[in-house]
Structure 1
Amino acid sequence: MPVYSMTGYASAQQSPGAGATGSEAKAGAASRLGLEIRSVNSRFLDLSFRLSEDLRQHEPVLREMLTAKLKRGKVEVRAGIETPGSDTLREPNPRTLQRLNALQDTVRSWLPEAASLSVADVIRLGSGEQASETDWTETVNALAARTLKELLAAREREGARLATMLLGHLQQLRALAQQALPLVPQLVEQQRARFLERWKEAMALGTGAAAAAAAGSVPTEAAQDRALTEATSFAIRIDVAEELTRLGSHIDEIERLIKKGGEVGKRLDFLIQELHREANTMGSKSAALELTRISVDMKVLIEQMREQVQNIE
C-alpha cells in the first residue's frame, strides 16, 4: 500500500452535454462546470466548500465522496458554473427594465422606506433573468469522481517522494549509530582509567605523618576497590549503549511502517518524537566531542524528518 501525502491539488471542467441528450444537452451546451480540490496537512480531516448558489444542494454528496477516500488533511472544494461571455456586461432589454421598474413600484408601495434600485442592481438582475434550468447532478458526480481520483494520484506521488526521502534519512541515522557504537566501550574504559589515575594522584598527595596515619587506617586494596566502584558508576552514567539500542529499534519500526504504507502519519509522528528523545539523551550523556557531534547530526536529520512526516496522511 502506498504512502499518501496530505498535500495535493486537482481540477477539472466538464459540460453537461457530455453524457446528456436531447433538450438537456442543448440547454447546458453554453455552460461549463468547473471543480477544483486542494488539500494541505492537518491533524484531522477538515472539509470546506466554496460552491456557487446553483450547486449548494450537491454539497452532501461531495462531502460523502471525500470522507470515503480521505482520512486526514485540510481540504477545500471550489465549484462554479461558467457561462461563455459571462465576463462581459450585457445590456438589459427594455422589457426587462420595464419589469424591474414595475416590481420596484410594487415593493415601494408596501415599503416606502425601501431603497431604489442602483445601476449595478439593474445590470445584475437584468443579466441573470434567465436562470439556468440544467440538471447538474450527473455532471457534478462524474466530475467530482474524476477530480478526486486525480487528487489521490497527486497525493500518492507526493507521498512516494516523502517516503524515499525518509528512507534516505533513516540510512544516514543508521550510519551515525554505527559510528557511535564502537565509541561506547572505548569511552567507558577511558573514563575508568582516567578516574583511577586521578584517584592515585590524590592518594599520592597525602604525604607526611597525617597522610601516613590515614593511609594506615584504610587498606590499599579497599581504597582501590572504592575507586573502581566510583569509576564504574561514572561509566554507567555516560554509557549510551541503551539509547543506541532503542534508537535502532525506532528506526526499524519507522522503516517497516513506511514500506507498509497506508494511514501511518500519526504513528510516524510519535516515533519521530521518540527518536529525538534518544538522540537528545545521548548528547546530554556524551563525554567525548565525537559523540556530541554525532548526536547533533542525528538531531538535524530527525528534525528534517519530523517536518516531512507531518505531511503524511
Structure 2
Amino acid sequence: MSLIFEEFDDIADLAEGLDDPSPGGRIMAVIELADSADPAAIPYLARAIKDDDAGVRKQAAQALTDFDGPDTAAALVGALGDVEAAVRDAAAISLTELKDPAAGDSILPLLDSSDDYTLMACLAGIKELRRPEARVPATQALTHANPSVRVQAVGVIGWLQNEDSLTDLKSATADPETAVRKAAVLALGFSKAETAQCTLMAALTDPDWQVREAAAETLSKSGGPACIPALRRVLEDDFWQVRLKAVRSLGRLDAKETAVEIGPMMSLPIPNLRKECAAVLGELAVPDTRQFLLPYVDDADPDVRKNVRWALEKMAAA
C-alpha cells in the first residue's frame, strides 16, 4: 500500500481564498493556510484576523496557534481588542502557545495596559517566553485589583526563576484570593533558599486546602530535611489530597523516620492515597513497615496491588 501525501499549493494561491465573497469560503482559506504550516502564511493570517466576519477572525486567531515569532505575536495582540469575545479568547489562548522569546517584543508594551483582559492575556502570553523585562510590570501587577491579573503576574515571576523575587512571591502567599496564594506557592518551586522553604512551611497551615496541597507538593522540589517535621504534621490534614502530597514529598526527601507514620494510612478508604503510601513505603524501604503492606497484596484496586507488591520486592531486595 502506498501512502499519498497532500501537496500544498503555493501560499499566495491559497491566500486568494481570503477574497472569497462568502465567510465560509474565507474560513476554508484560513484553514488551508494553517494546514500548510508554512511561515509564509503568517502575513495572510494576520490579514484574516482583521476580516469583517467574526467567524473568520476567530478561525485566524486559532490558526495562529501553530505559528510563532514576532509577526504572529503582533497579530494576536491586535486581536485582543476585538469587539467579539470569542475572537479575543482565541487570540489570548494562541498567545500562550508562543515559544520564541522574540515574540515578546509585541507583548511587553502592553504590560501596563489599563484594560484588565488585555493585561491578563499579555501576562499569560509572555510567561513562558521568560523575558527579564517582564519582571517589573509583573511585580507591579501583584497589587492589581483583579485577582485574575494577580494570578498571571505570579506566573510570570515564577517562570523567571529569579531569587530576588522571593520576597514578592512570599507576599503573594498572603493574598486574600485563594487562586493567587496557590499560584505563588507553586511558583516557589524553583528555589531551595531558606526564605522559600519557610514560606512553604507556613503555607501548610493555610485556611484553604488547595493552598496546603500546593505547598506540600512544592516542598518535594524546594524542601530539605528542615521541612520534614512540618510535612509530618500535614499527614493528619482533614483533606486526603493534602496528605497524599505530603506523603509524596516525604518520600522524595527520603524521610525514613516517617515510614511508621505513613504505614497506618494504608487502611484509609481512598485508593489513590493507598497507592501513594505503598509507593513511598517502597522507596523508603524500612523493613518494619512490611506489616502495613501485607494486608493489601490483594487490594481491590489494581494500582494499589501493583505498588504494594513492588514495595515488598524493594524491601526484600534491600
Q: TM-score, normalised by structure 1?
A: 0.17
- Greater RCO between the two (CA within 8 Å, min separation 6)? 1
Larger Rg, first or second structure (1 or 2): 1
Which one has the bigger strand percentage? 1
Q: Which structure has more helix as a fraction of its residues? A: 2
